[in-house]
Amino acid sequence: MPEQNAVLLDERRMRKVLTYLSVRLFERFRTVVRLVIHGGAVMVLHRELSRKRNTRDVDYIHRAFVAEWAQRGVRDAGDRLTACIAETARAFGLGDDWMNSHADIALPMARDAYGNLTDPIYNDAVKPTNVRMNTVFESPGLVLIGVSWSWAVALKLVRYCKDDPDDIAAILSLGTTMRGCQWTVQLLEGWLLNLCSPMGYSHYPPQEINKTRARMRDAILRTSSLPWDPNVARAPQPSKPALTLVPYWTVQQQPTARAVGQAQQPARPVTVHGGDLEHQRQPKGRLLAARTRTRSFSAITTSAPAVPTAPMPPLPRPPMPVAGPLYPSNYASRPPRSHHTSASVSAAIAPPTSMPLPPSTTSSQPRKSSFAPVPTPPQQASFARPQRQPPAHILNSLPLGFIPTHWMPYPQRAH
């Protein structure tokens, strides 16, 4: 088996070879294997960049694959992958380097916030946005993800030989088709400085900077000379209505529905004066203009008779709660429930009640009326048991007609 592959791989043959490799990988890993690729294979497999017809090899990042599986506890993942690649080469008569990682030694590295070495190209490629846009091959055992467009251009600018100028031109043309980018050297240089800073552009000598800018200028010129390929799938462009500056506009009223039997009269045009519409370029101005149009459209009059509407009846008022008597907390027993009311229950106030006084056995004390509202404490003899006198604030808080029986004088004993 030769060391260098001499068989050209177009899209159909490459997908067939990768499907065979996917089966071999699933037998060894028992799960899907994800690889990040770059170079000409991306240009062949990508649906929107089918300008390059064939390639001789597939460049992938081996170091990131080994580090990813080492975190999962698989130390021999690199050896398993290499064995599957060699088995696929023997099955299809390809060279040993049909799928290689020779460019890993030249790819830049970066350090994270903790000082650890990381792979910026791999980290940028596995982001969800790039995975959705640049997944070029997917099967149960193998998924191939192309590097992001910025890194693809940056890596090809370093080498810039063979098909690299046309590949960069194809990528820039795709950006023009999908996003409407009008490429210039300044725009392309700022794009790479922002997204591919680990390339070390700030440390380039002046001669290298001028050479890189000349390559950018050449790639931009090639975008205008690329032949149009009808097989390239282009993303649909959203139609943006052009802003027109008019001092007024005319609204043609549409015929409205009328009752059966009425003759339909021709609608009359209504002119709405809204002034100058230059403020529609700002979000707040567009909102105000929309409100103006809404009020103007709703104000269009018709010849249909107005339907009378009945006034809404007033809402019933809820009954106000009636406050009942409040009883002190040191009462021995509260009155019966039938005479008790609270603020949460709307009930009539119970009539005042009275309790008969017990008869007195002393002849010197006149007999009180049985229905005295508030009894006056009698003059007690020196030998009588001392009586408890309720505080004044409790007596004032009692409702009319209630007599504190537990403060009543005890009946005197006969001697």
Q: How far is CA 166 from CA 51, 132, 160, 343, in A?
A: 9, 24, 10, 90
Domain endpoint, select from 179, 201, 231? 231
User: Does 45 lie in the same domain as 186?
Assistant: no
Domain annotation covers residue 412: no
Domain annotation covers residue 241: no
Please give the distance of CA 15 from its chain centroid, rounded to a whole number. Answer: 38
Strand pairing report for 249-251 and 54-55: unpaired
Domain annotation covers residue 163: yes
Spell out the residues 6+ positions from residue 236 whose beta carbon is closer than 8 angstroms to its own: none
Domain endpoint, select from 231, 249, 266? 231
Q: Which two tokens stand for residue 312?
A: 């809404």
| Range with the poorest average pLDDT among 96-100, 188-192, 323-327 | 323-327
Domain annotation covers residue 91: yes
Q: List, for residues 17-43, the tens digit of each pLDDT value.
A: 999 999 999 999 999 999 999 999 999
- Distance between CA atoms of 65 and 77, rounded to whole angstroms? 8
User: Does 133 lie in the same domain as 36?
Assistant: yes
Q: List, for residues 121-155, the tens digit of each pLDDT value.
A: 999 999 999 999 999 999 999 999 999 999 999 99
Q: List, for residues 337-376, the tens digit of each pLDDT value.
A: 555 444 444 445 555 555 555 555 555 555 554 455 556 6
Domain annotation covers residue 161: yes
User: Does 26 lie in the same domain as 119?
Assistant: yes
Question: What percent of the chain is modeled with pLDDT above 70?
Answer: 54
Q: Which two tokens stand for residue 216?
A: 């950018």
User: Does 105 lie in the same domain as 154?
Assistant: no
Query: Would you place residue 315 in the very low, low, confident or very high pLDDT band (cuts 50, 70, 90)?
Result: low
Number of H helices, E strands in the chain: 12, 11
Q: What is the mean pLDDT of residues 249-255?
A: 42
Written as one string, the DSSP assignment of 326-375 is: ---TT-SSPPPGGG---TTS--PPPPP---PPPPP--SSSPPPPTT-SSP
pLDDT exceeds cutoff 90 at 235 = no
User: Does 203 lie in the same domain as 139?
Assistant: no
Q: Total structural domains in the chain? A: 2
Q: Which two tokens stand for residue 353?
A: 């009640």
User: Does 174 lie in the same domain as 75?
Assistant: no
User: Does 44 lie in the same domain as 101?
Assistant: yes
Domain endpoint, select from 211, 231, 251? 231
User: Does 106 lie in the same domain as 5?
Assistant: yes
pLDDT exceeds cutoff 80 at 221 = yes
Domain annotation covers residue 283: no
Written as one string, the DSSP assignment of 264-286 is: PPPPPPEEE-----GGGGSHHHH
pLDDT exceeds cutoff 60 at 398 = yes
Rg of the chain, C-alpha, whole Å: 48
- Distance between CA atoms of 360 and 375, rounded to whole angstroms? 13
DSSP 74: -
User: Does 169 lie in the same domain as 128?
Assistant: no
User: Does 20 lie in the same domain as 110?
Assistant: yes
Domain annotation covers residue 194: yes
User: Does 109 lie in the same domain as 99?
Assistant: yes
For 157, the domain range is: 149-231
User: Does 139 lie in the same domain as 200?
Assistant: no
- Distance between CA atoms of 342 and 322, rounded to whole angstroms? 8
